[in-house]
Chain A
Amino acid sequence: MEANPRSTGRLPAAFLTPGSSSFMDFLGDHSPDLLPGRRTLPPVQGAIQAPHGTTIVATTFPGGVVLAGDRRATMGNMIAQRDIEKVFPADEYSAVGIAGTAGLAVEMVKLFQLELEHFEKVEGAQLSLEGKANRLSTMIRSNLGMAMQGLAVVPLFAGYDIDREKGRIFSYDVTGGRSEEHGFAATGSGSIFARGAMKKLYREDLTEQQATTLVIQALYDAADDDSATGGPDVARRIYPIVTVITDEGFRRLTEAETSEIARSILEGRLTQPDGPRAALL
């Protein structure tokens, strides 16, 4: 084992100790330096300049949940990356979208995916959706020290609850506080505008097709008013990432599907730049 130079090549004791089904616990025992939460940052003056991911939105519909994110990462007033991906499958029935420090967030997602997969392999059964949401909470809390220095990671977690047979959304704050959102949710710098848009457009009887349109509308409105959120980029063919989770599992919409929705939205905005109007009364 690379992690144990003194070993004779046999698996070190930590590997064969029965008990925990958690990969993070194992990592904490065996090689704690690999855990993101164990790092301490030297004292620094002011904010650290690192790419930040921006807006993530989610909405439920009867039969599932949609989670989507824009593609922009910013560093100060500069666009750090135009085609960053911020929405990832966590396992077959859940997905996580991240806003905040991109580098830390991607690492956190990688560890979170592994945590769920590891549990599933060791136990032979999946964690409950609540269990997964709690696990993510712990990971965010362990990043609190970094968050205090400006390197926060704030995800949005969405999944299909097989026991309750419905899609559910969980939102988080930097301290790891977790709350279940009903209907729709948004996180990141453009979330205020996205949430405003969704508030007016959301209905309880959305179809899957309507739900995917709703999230792209919301991202468009976020990009409209927030400089850190990127709208659909027709010239470069960069469209938001839209994922749908139903009882059939996780599915990411293809570029052809999202571009079609994005184009029809752009078409509508040519005549109505502020998007569809909700009834006044």
Chain B
Amino acid sequence: MSTPFYVSPQQAMADRAEYARKGIARGRSLVVLQYADGIVFVGENPSRALHKFSEIYDRIGFAAAGKYNEYENLRIGGVRYADLRGYTYDRDDVTARGLANVYAQTLGTIFSSAGEKPYEVELVVAEVGASPEGDQIYRLPHDGSIVDEHGSVAVGGNAEQISTFLDQRHRDGMSLAEALKLAVQALSSQSNGNDREIPADRLEVAVLDRTRPQQRKFKRIVGRQLARLLEADGAASTPTDAPSDDETDEATTEGTTEETGGTTGAGE
């Protein structure tokens, strides 16, 4: 039989989407929430050095779930895009919308080009405005579409379930401590009802804080400040023994050790 093997375009795309979605689902989820003074990023991340959240520009933050080397590449591309744009024009001319567009084009082209493997990543690009009305959150799935989100967004493995959880409970004008607590609850909730506890040292938290006097609004929340926020309102998350489904994320952090070594070495 020498008949060429035929795959319908629908089938080919569905396969690629399936492939990407599975890759993303292997990573741990993360959430991005609006609160009164800005936007908070919360995720479970056992590593102190390999971040899921990062600063792109003055008011723009980046969050990603999925395969580390792929989103790291996109993150650096975004930093370069933003810095070049700010250098050519002005710092005010760098916007999350522009960046999200570029990411969407990039992801979309890669997704539909038969020669490349689709990226197994889902991104969130957020920009903090001068007031809560000016905040923008964009979710960028693997296929190059853009979703303009309000209030809260979740990406990664359990995204759907966590989104539903957040949609029901998130409201405008929450304090940072409230938003953080809600995010941790959302991340630790499980479909079978057995909620697990995530200890503070496994949480990665960052904010885009519009009240920060500096031009650069992005700030990581670590150590004592994080503990204090988690304990606000007397509701502390008591560290318990880690649940057994921990291994799921190892695939995403595995390749990163080398990656960090590589980047440090390349800083001429």
Contact = CB atoms under 8 A, between A and B. Distances in A.
Contacts of A10: 102, 105-106, 108-110
Interface stretch (A25-33, A51-59, A175-183, A206-214): A25-33
Contacts of A21: 263, 266-267
B174 interface: no
A26 B106 contact: no
B83 A16 contact: no
Contact of A122 (B76, B109, B110, B268): B76
A110 B266 contact: no
Contact of B74 (A1, A16, A127): A16
Interface in A1-53: 1-3, 8-11, 14-16, 18-23, 25-27, 30-31, 34
A141 interface: no
B22 to A, nearest CB: 23
B80 interface: yes
A122 B77 contact: no
A257 interface: no
Given A10-B102, A11-B81, A23-B83, A16 B263 contact: no
A122 B80 CA distance: 9
A111 interface: yes
A15 B77 contact: yes
B79 interface: yes
B105 A9 contact: yes
What is the size category of the interface that chain A forms with chain B? 20 to 34
From A19, A22, A31, A34, name the one whose CB has the most chain B CB atoms within 10 angstroms.
A19
Interface in B158-192: none
Contacts of A25: 268
Interface in B212-268: 216, 262-264, 266-268
Contact of B266 (A1, A20, A118): A20
B140 to A, nearest CB: 13
Nearest to A9: B105
A16 B79 CA distance: 10
Contact of A16 (B73, B87, B105, B267): B73
Given A10-B110, A123-B263, A118 B81 contact: no
Nearest to B74: A16
B114 to A, nearest CB: 15
Interface in B109-123: 109-110
Given A8-B105, A15-B81, A114 B86 contact: yes
A221 interface: no
B202 to A, nearest CB: 19
B196 to A, nearest CB: 29
B76 A18 contact: yes
Interface in B194-208: none
Contacts of B105: 8-11
A20 B84 contact: no
B87 A121 contact: no
Contact of A124 (B49, B80, B108, B266): B49
A9 B74 CA distance: 14
Given A11-B81, A21-B266, A25-B268, 8 more contacts: A3-B84, A11-B77, A15-B81, A20-B266, A114-B87, A118-B80, A121-B83, A122-B263
Interface of A: 1-3, 8-11, 14-16, 18-23, 25-27, 30-31, 34, 110-111, 114, 117-119, 121-124, 127
A-B pairs with lowest CB-CB distance, top 4: A9-B105, A15-B77, A10-B106, A10-B109
5 contacts: A9-B101, A11-B81, A11-B103, A16-B73, A121-B79
